[in-house]
Amino acid sequence: MTEKSMTQKNRLQDGGRIDRSKVLAFTYNGKKYTGFEGDTLASALLANGVDIIGRSFKYSRPRGIVAAGAEEPNAIMQIGSTEATQIPNVRATQQSLYSGLVAGSTNGWPSVDNDLMGLVGKVGGKMMPPGFYYKTFMYPKSMWETYESYIRKAAGLGRAPKENDPDIYDKMNQHCDVIIVGAGPAGLAAALTAARAGARVIIADEQNEFGGSLLSSKELLGGKPAAEWVADVVKELSTYDDVLMLPNSQVNGYHDHNFLTIQQHCTDQFADRAPNGQVAQRYHRVRAKWVVLATGAHERPLVYGNNDVPGCMVANAVSTYINRYGVVPGKNLVLMTSNDNAYRTALDWHDAGRNVVAIVDSRKNPHGTFVDAARDRGISIIVGSGVIEAHGSKRVSGVSIAPLNDAGDAVVGPIIKMAADTVATSGGWSPVIHLSCHTGARPVWNEEILGFTPGATYQKQLTAGAINGAFSTAQALSEGVKAASDALSQLGLAKSDVVLPETEVIEEGKAMALFHIPHTKPTSKAPKQFVDYQNDVTASGIELACREGFESIEHVKRYTAMGFGTDQGKLGNINGMAIAAKMLNQTIPQTGTTIFRPNYTPVTFGAIAGRDCGALFDPERYTAMHAWHVEHGAKFEDVGQWKRAWYYPKGNETMQQALDRECLATRKSVGILDASTLGKIDIQGKDAREFLGRVYTNAWAKLPVGKCRYGLMCGEDGMVFDDGVTSCLAENHFLMTTTSGGAARVLSWLEIYHQTEWPELEVYFNSVTDHWSTMTISGPNSRKLLEKLTDSDVSKENMAFMDWKPMTVAGVPARVFRISFTGELSFEINVQANYGLHVWKALFEKGAEFNLTPYGTETMHILRAEKGFIIAGQDTDGSVHPFDLGMSWAVSMQKPFSFIGKRGMQREDCVRENRKQLVGLKTLDPKAVLPEGAQGVLDPKAPIPMPMVGHVTSSYWSANLNRSVAMGFVKGGLDKMGERVFYPLADGRVIEAEICSPVFLDPKGERQNV
Amino acid sequence: MFHIYCPHCCEYREEEEFHAAGQSHIARPLDPDACTDKEWGEFMYFRANPRGIHHELWVHAAGCRKYFNITRDTQTYEIKEVYKVGEKPTVVANAIQSK
C-alpha cells in the first residue's frame, strides 16, 4: 500500500469500482486528502474518516453523510478552486472526485468542527419552533430586513461566485422515439429492447456510469457479477447509431407533451475548469414520443432520537460505499430495519471484515434468505425492537435499544445500551416518483410496498422497475423489457428479442410499516428525532403543527418547511407524512402527499442560460448608419431591441450641453435624425383603405395618392396604444409607420383583426422596417440641403406639408415624406437600407455649409415636447383615450364603420367629467425642470395622503425657449387653463406650475408651413 | 412546453414558435354602437376560465403568422384538436363536466 492510501483509514484493500493506481489529491475545508479515480467526493471523505461535513440549518448540529446519491440532504458542498469557478450546493454524493478538486462546507463558522453558531443554536433552537419565521419575525415589521439577513446567513447554503464563470455551457435540442430515464436494471433492459428494434433511443442516468443498483450489489446475473452484464449491455448499446447514451446526466424536469430537460455534466465531473473549447455542462431539451421512467427507489431511513449524529446513515448507502467504493464508513455497526432487504448491509459490513454489533429488527419473527445468511454468519439479531436513540455528538458512540409493541408505536421493555460508531437504518423503499409528478399526476399509495407509486397520467409515459415498487432485480429487468415493448408497439415498431439473464432466487419476509421509532419519553420531550435533515424538521415539530390545527399535508409542509430544502425532502417526506397521518388519526393515503415539482435536483444557472448570455442574451438591432454613430461618439439608448443614437457629445460636453447644442442647431439651421427604427408596415390590397379606416380613429376614405396622414390607434377599450403617419403610395397601397417599440405589436394587431374578424377584406401586411433607412432632416435649411442632393422640385408649391414623393436622392431612389415631428420644415428621406450610409454621408458632405448637426432620440424628445407632440407609451399608458389627450381632431365619429376604439371611448367612465387630461405644465420658476413621474396636487398644504390629480409624463430643459417645458395629466386639466398645480417632491421642494397648452413653441405652426 | 400542430403548416412545432391570443370564438359585435356598456364590457373583458376543455386562439408567430384554434384541457394540458379560424370545435365540454 502506498503511504497516501494508508491515510484513507476506512478504505478496503480491494474491491469496489475504483482504480487504486490513480490517486487523486483534493482539498476539503482547507485540508489535503486523497482518494481514487472512481470515487465520489462523498466516498473519498468517508474513506478519509471525515465525519462532519456541515452544520444544520436551524440548530447548527454537526452533520455527516447519510446517503450515497441524489437524496443526500447533508453533504451540500461549495466546489471550486477559484472565485470564478465556484459552484454552490453540490451534493458530495453526486460529485465525481477529480485531481485538484477544492470543496468546502457551506455552513459552520469558524469551522464545521468547532461551530460557534452551535452554541447559539442550542439556545436559539428553542426559539425557533415550526413556523418560527411566521411567528417570531413578523413584528415589528420594520425589523424584517434585520431578521432576514440573519436568517439568510443562518440558512447555510452555498454562495454564488463573485466573478464571471469562465466556462461555456450550451443547449441541445433532441428528439427520440423513447427516452429512458435511469440506467439501472430496468432502464438498461428497456434500452436494449428498444435499441434492438431500431428505435431512436436516449438513455440518461445521473451517475458517472450506467448500472444503477447493480453497481453496488453483490448479486449474480446469469451466474456472473451483475456489473459484467451491465458492461455487456453498455457495450452493445454503444454500437447503435440511434442510441444516445448520457451518463452524468440528470433528467431534471418532465414537462408537458413529453418534453424533458436534462442537465449533463460534461467536464465539471473531472475538472475545475473546462479544458479549452469544451463545454462544462450541456442542457438537453428532449421531445420524446414515449418516456420510460426507470428512476428506481430511495431507501427511507427510520426516525429515532439523535438520528442526525454523524455515523447515522441509510442502510443501502452503507452497502454502496462498501461494494462500489471499497469504503467501510466505521468499525462497529448497528443495523435497524423493518424489512429483510436491509440485512444485506449487515452482510456487506461483516464480509468486509468489520464488526456488526447487532441487527435490530422491529419485527417479532423475521425470516428469509438474507435473515438466514445473517444467522449463518453468527450476527446477533435483536427482534421486536428498535434503536430509540443514538448517543454521541460529533460521531455516534452507541445506541439505546428497546423492545417495541406490535404496532411499533410504544416502548414496552427495558433499554439496553450498546457501543457502536455507525447506525444504518431502513424503513423500506420509496419509489422515485418525482418526474412522474412534474406533469401533474398525483401519486398513489401502494399498501403492499408501503410507498407511493406514479399516478395516472396523460403523458405518453411508461414506468418500469422500482418506481413501480418492483424492487427485485428480476422484476426490474422484466418490467424494463415490457415497458420498452409497449412503447415499440405504440410506435408501430417491430418487437425485438431480449433474453434476460437468470437472477438469484431470494425469499423475503413481509416488511413492517414503520416510520417513527417511539421513545420512552413523549416525542416533544425525547431527543430530537429528525425527519428532514436539511431543514431541521423534527417529528415533534410535525406533531406540533398538527396540534396547532394544520391538517392538510401541504399546510404542514409549509408550516414546518419540511421538504423545502434543495433536496426537496427526498428522504424525509414520507416519514413526515406518516407522522402527520398518525397525529391526525388518518391513513397515509388519506393524508395524501405533497407533489414534487421541477427540478429534481438544483440546476446551475450556467446550464439554464447556455449560450444565451452576454452578447447573445438578446439580439441587438442596428440601423445601417450604426457604425457612423459609433464613430461620431454617439451615446446609445435601447428602444426595444434597437440601439438608437441618444445624443452625440462633443469633446467634454455634458449631456445637457450636447442636447442644448443639438436643439439650437436644428431650429437655427438643420439637424438630422436616424429614424430607421420606426416601424414600417407595407399594406396592400383593394380593401386596404377600408381596413385603415377600421383600425385608425380618423378618416382614410379620401386620402389621395401622394399624401400622408397622422393616425391614432386604439384598443377596443378606446385607449390609445400606438400612433404614426400612414402614406398613400398608390390607390391600393399604403405605408404605415408605427412607434419603434410598437412595430411587432401593431403588425399582430392588424393580422388578428384581418384573420379573425374581417377575413372578407382583401388586404396584405408586410413588415418592411428593416428594408428602409430613414433619415429625417429638420430645420429651416432642410429644403436647401435636400435640393443639393436631388433634381426634384421640393418647393413649397410642389411639395406641400404632408406630401410624399418618389425621387432620386444622392443618386439612389428614395421616398421623401414632408412630415415633421419637430415643428420645423422637415423631410423624411427613405432609401433602400443598403444605400442608407451612402445617403447619410452625402447629406453630411453637402450639409457642412449649413452646420448639419446629428441629433439623437433625446433631442428628438425635446423638440417634439416643445411642440406638444405626444409619444405613445410615454404620454399614454393604456388608460387614456384621444379626448384625454386633447386630440379630438384625430377622431372621426362620422365614419360608417364603428372603428376600433369608438365604442370603448364612449363608455360611461370615458365620458365622465374630471378625467385626467394631458396639458402643458409651465413651471413658475423657468429654470425648474419637473421630474417625470412627479405627482401633482392642487393644495400643497393638504394633509398626507394628499389627493393627487395626475403625473408629469414629459419634462425637459428647452434651450430654444430658455426655460423648462413639460406635459402631464391633470384631472379636468383641459378646463383648468391658467390654474396652478403643485408638485411636492421627495426632497422637500414643491414646484409650482401653471396649466397651459402643451404647445410651447410656434403655436400657429408657422415654422413648418414654409 | 407544448408541442403544437399548426393546421396551416401541417406539422408539429415547438411552443416557442407560437403565442397564445386568448379565448376563441369571442366575436366582435357586428354593431358595436348598439351595444350597452355592459355588453361591450362583457365582450372586452369577460372570459371563461374552465377547469377542463377550453378553446383558445393561438398564432404561429415565428412561423406562418396565421391564427388558429386549439381545444385544450386546462387540467392536463392535453391538446385535443386544432382547427382553423371560422371552423367549429368537435371536442366540447359536456354539461356535467362544465358544472
B65 touches chain A (CB under 8 A): yes
Say if the Cβ atoms of B59 and A748 lie within 8 Å. yes
Residue ranges for chain A with pLDDT beneath 70: 1-6, 108-156
CB contact B83 to A (< 8 Å):
no
Buried b (16+ CB within 10 A) or exposed e, A507-517: ebbebbebbbb
| B1/A257 CB distance under 8 A | yes
Find which of A255, A437, A761, A903 to mutate to test the B interface (most B CBs within 10 Å of its CB): A903
Q: Which among A257, A259, A755 is the nearest to B85, CB-wise? A: A755
In whole angstroms, give the CA distance from residue A438 to residue A703: 58
Distance from CA of B89 to the nearest CA of A (A): 15
**Cross-chain Cβ contact B28/A287 below 8 Å:** no
Residues of A in contact with B59 (CB under 8 A): 748, 751-752
From the list B67, B73, B78, the residue facing A756 with the nearest CB is B67
**Contact: B44, A717; criterion CB under 8 Å:** yes
- Residue in chain B lying closest to A440 (CA): B76
How many Cα atoms occupy the beta-carbon half-sphere of A554 within 13 Å? Answer: 3
**Contacting residues of B for A903, CB less than 8 Å apart:** 32-33, 35, 40
Cell numbers representing residue A738 in the block = 408605427
Write the CA distances from A668 to A243, A329, A663, A665, A818, integer angstroms: 73, 86, 9, 5, 19
- Evaluate the CA torsion angle B28, B29, B32, B36 in order and state its sign: negative
Which residue in chain A has the smallest CA separation from B59? A752
Q: Which CATH number fits domain B3-33+50-87: 3.40.50.720, 3.30.2270.10, 1.20.1580.10, 3.40.50.970?
A: 3.30.2270.10
Contact A755 B66 (CB under 8 A): yes
Determine the residue of chain B that is closest to A253 in CA distance.
B1
Residues in chain B within 8 Å Cβ distance of A746: none
Task: Report the gap between the CA of B3 and the closest CA in chain A (Å).
Answer: 6
Distances (CA, A) of A236 to A231, A264, A295, A793: 9, 22, 22, 81
Helices (H), A709-835: 743-752, 782-787
What does the DSSP assignment read for A363-412? SSS--BHHHHHHHHTT--EE-SEEEEEEE-SSS--EEEEEEB-TTSSSB-
* pLDDT of A3: 43
Question: What integer pLDDT is reported at residue A2 of this predicted model?
Answer: 45
Find residues 115-154 of chain A whose CB sits inside 8 Å of chain B.
Answer: none
For residue B75, give how far its alpha carbon lies from the nearest alpha carbon of chain A (Å). 8
Q: What is the pLDDT of residue A122?
A: 46
Q: How far is B91 from chain A (nearest CA, A)?
A: 17
Give the count of Cβ contacts less than 8 A between chain A and B: 61
**Which residues are CB-contacts of A501 (< 8 A; sequence separation ≥ 6)?**
A221, A222, A224, A229, A477
How many angstroms separate the CA atoms of A65 and A59, rounded? 17
Residues of B in contact with A717 (CB under 8 A): 44
Decide if A612 touches B, using CB distance below 8 A: no
Is A258 part of the contact surface with chain B (CB cutoff 8 Å)?
yes
Ranges of chain B with pLDDT below 50: 97-99
When CB atoms are compared, the residue of B33, B67, B76 closest to A458 is B76
Coil/strand/helix, residue B42: helix
List Cα–Cα distances, A428 to A240, A363, A422, A709, B41, in angstroms: 38, 13, 19, 78, 59
The 3-state DSSP class for residue A88 equals strand
Domains and CATH numbers, chain A: 3-136+150-154 (3.10.20.440), 168-297+431-491 (3.50.50.60), 301-427 (3.50.50.60), 522-603 (1.10.10.1100), 674-863 (3.30.1360.120), 913-1010 (2.40.30.110)
| pLDDT score recorded for residue A1000 | 98
User: Does the CB of A716 have a partner CB in chain B at under 8 Å?
Assistant: yes
Q: Distance between CA atoms of A868 and A888, rounded to whole angstroms?
A: 15
Contacts of A456 (CB under 8 A, 6+ apart): A441
Q: Find chain A residues with C-beta within 8 A of B2's C-beta.
A: 256-257
By CB atoms closer than 10 A (0-12, 13-18, 19+), residue A241 is exposed
Distance in Å, alpha carbon of A259 to nearest chain B alpha carbon? 6
Residues 6+ positions from A804 with CB-CB distance below 8 Å: A706, A707, A708, A727, A729, A815, A816, A817, A818, A819
| Spatial contact of A158 and A534, defined as CB atoms under 8 Å apart | no
Q: List the single residue in A with minimal CA-CA distance to B87.
A: A756
Which pLDDT value is given to residue A655?
A: 98
Q: Which of residues 896-915 of A touch B (CB under 8 A)?
A: 898, 902-904, 907-908
| Predicted pLDDT of residue A1 | 41
Instruction: Please tell me the distance from the alpha carbon of residue A622 to that of residue A407, in angstroms, as a whole number.
Output: 74
Q: Measuring CA to CA, which residue among B3, B24, B14, B20 is closest to residue B71?
A: B24
A753 CA: distance to closest CA in chain B (Å):
10
Are the beta carbons of A259 and B78 separated by less than 8 Å? no
CA gap A538, A480 in Å, rounded: 38
Nearest CA-CA distance, residue A903 and chain B, Å: 6
Instruction: Say if strands A279-293 and A259-265 run parallel, antiparallel, or are unpaired.
Output: antiparallel
pLDDT at A615: 87
Nearest CA in chain B to A173: B14
Interchain contact, A259 vs B59, CB within 8 Å: no
A24 and A34 Cβ atoms separated by less than 8 Å: yes
pLDDT at A123: 43
Q: Which residue of A has its CA nearest to B61?
A: A748
Q: Whole-angstrom Cα distance, residue A556 to residue A532? A: 13
The answer to whether A756 contacts chain B (CB < 8 Å) is yes
Please enumerate in sequence order all residues whose Cβ is within 8 A of that of A920, keeping only pairs 6 or more positions apart, or say none: A868, A965, A966, A967, A995, A996, A997, A998, A999, A1000
For A151, the 3-state DSSP assignment is helix
Closest partner residue to B3 (CB to CB) among A257, A903, A904 is A257
Q: How far apart are CA A604 and CA A378, in angstroms?
A: 49
Tell me how far CA of residue A959 lies from CA of A482, A776, A821, in angstroms.
81, 21, 17
- Is A458's CB within 8 Å of B78's CB? yes
Interface contact B22, partner A, CB < 8 A: no
Contact B1 A255 (CB under 8 A): yes
The secondary structure of residue A362, as a DSSP letter, is S
Residue A828 Ramachandran class (φ > 0 left, ψ -120 to 50 alpha, else beta): beta
Chain B interface mutation, best of A719, A898, A908, highest count of B Cβ atoms under 10 Å? A898
Asked if A902's CB is within 8 angstroms of B76's CB, the reply is no
DSSP secondary structure of A853-922: EE--HHHHHHHHHHTT---TTTT--SS--TTTTT-GGG--TT-SS--TTTTGGGSGGGSSTT-EEEEEEE
